[in-house]
């Protein structure tokens, strides 16, 4: 049966809006139901906020009853999306460093390579590993080691451009993906980061910790491989060369030339 403003059952159908002095019309209820469905289908909070702004414009001058009903529909939906995005962020972020974790890297890396190939652009990939970190942990303790990892995460966040992707690859190893960047250019860009790591002032429990250094291996698409797996392997080999030649170095893949 179509709801009617004069039908007592109408009040129960509008939920929290039932206490309003003026009930909603059938067309207003239909609009409200459509808004709820569209909010439920929104992929993220940003899309929902745009939809809400449009809904506010649609009901401008529609009276207090529909405005209150809209607010009662929008509020819980936006709160649910905020909670969903917060949980998704926790699932995709390394809790210690705040960087992306391996899960988002596995999703994004193939996409970035496809984009680079489609646009005919280079893409650089850097593997960064903290030097003698296990010894550092044993000497200073794991809480101090965690403070080092947090510091490196902050340095990477501050260093990367908006289009770059910085991830904690595992343990004390990090990866930085730099779209639209050739590998040779990346080695020059990364030198200030290497210096910043070596000069970082890291404090724990009121004392300044011993400095730590990092080694970096750099490879790029298409120069060092035509796939994500090939370029990752090339960067890992360059990192191995950097470690083997005294650490605290940046090495470019394939020819092993020292960039420092």
Check if the beta carbon of residue 144 is closer than 8 Å to that of residue 212. Answer: no
> Is position 191 annotated as part of the catalytic site?
no
Tokens of 166: 């910085």
Using CA atoms, how far apart are residues 195 and 149, in angstroms rounded to an integer?
A: 16
Tokens of 217: 């291996």
Instruction: Give CA angle at 191 (188, 197), nearest 5°.
Output: 160
Q: Which of 56, 121, 162, 172 is catalytic?
A: 172
Check if the beta carbon of residue 216 is closer than 8 Å to that of residue 242. Answer: yes
Sheet holding 214-221, edge to edge: 165-170, 173-179, 123-130, 214-221, 250-252
**Cα separation values, 69 from 48, 77, 123, Å:** 17, 13, 50
Using CA atoms, how far apart are residues 90 and 221, in angstroms rounded to an integer?
A: 30
* Cα–Cα nearest to 128, from 217, 188, 213: 217
Residues counted in the chain: 260
Residues involved in catalysis = 172
């Amino acid at each position: 049966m179509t709801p009617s403003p004069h039908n007592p059952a109408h009040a129960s159908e509008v939920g929290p809006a039932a206490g309003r002095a003026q009930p909603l019309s059938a067309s207003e209820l239909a609009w409200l139901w459509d808004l709820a469905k569209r909010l439920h289908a929104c992929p993220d909070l940003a899309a929902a906020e745009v939809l809400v702004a449009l809904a506010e414009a649609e009901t401008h001058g529609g009276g207090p009853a529909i405005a209150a009903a809209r607010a009662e529909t929008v509020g819980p939906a936006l709160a649910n999306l905020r909670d969903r995005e917060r949980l998704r962020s926790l699932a995709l972020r390394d809790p210690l460093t705040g960087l992306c974790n391996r899960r988002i890297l596995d999703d994004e890396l193939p996409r970035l390579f496809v984009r680079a190939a489609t646009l005919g652009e280079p893409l650089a990939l850097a593997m960064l590993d903290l030097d003698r970190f296990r010894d550092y942990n044993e000497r200073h303790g794991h809480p101090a080691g965690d403070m080092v990892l947090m510091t490196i995460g902050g340095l990477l966040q501050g260093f990367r451009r908006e289009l770059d992707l910085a991830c904690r690859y595992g343990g004390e190893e990090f990866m930085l993906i730099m779209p639209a960047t050739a590998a040779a250019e990346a080695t020059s860009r990364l030198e200030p980061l290497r210096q910043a790591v070596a000069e970082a002032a890291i404090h724990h429990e009121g004392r300044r910790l011993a400095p730590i250094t990092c080694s970096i291996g750099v490879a790029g698409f298409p120069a060092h491989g035509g796939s994500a797996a090939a370029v990752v392997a090339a960067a890992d080999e360059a990192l191995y060369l950097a470690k083997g030649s005294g650490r605290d170095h940046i090495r470019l893949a394939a020819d092993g030339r020292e960039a420092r």
